A = this chain, B = another copy of it.
Amino acid sequence: MKIGILGTGIVGETIGTKLVQLEQSVTMGSRTPNNEKALAWVEKTGSNAFAGTFADAAKYGEILFNCTSGAVSLEALKLAGAENMRGKILVDVANPLDFSKGMPPTLTVSNNDSLGEQIQRAYPEVKVVKALNTLTSLIMVNPQSLAGGDHDLFICGNDAEAKKTVTAILVSFGWKSEHIYDLGDITNARGTESLLPLWIRLMGKFQSPMFQWKVVR
Contact = CB atoms under 8 A, between A and B. Distances in A.
Interface residues on chain A, size class: 35 or more
B213 A217 contact: no
Interface in A151-180: 151, 154
A100 interface: no
6 contacts: A106-B111, A110-B110, A194-B194, A195-B198, A211-B216, A213-B214
A210 interface: yes
A119 to B, nearest CB: 18
Contacts of A146: 216-217
Interface stretch (A26-34, A64-72, A200-208): A200-208
Majority SS of interface residues in chain A?
mixed
A136 B181 CA distance: 20
A190 interface: yes
A198 B206 contact: no
Contacts of A95: none
A146 B214 CA distance: 13
A107 B183 CA distance: 19
Nearest to A110: B111
A212 interface: yes
Given A111-B111, A213-B214, 18 more contacts: A110-B110, A110-B111, A110-B194, A146-B216, A146-B217, A147-B217, A181-B205, A184-B201, A188-B201, A190-B197, A191-B197, A192-B198, A194-B194, A194-B196, A195-B195, A206-B217, A211-B216, A214-B216
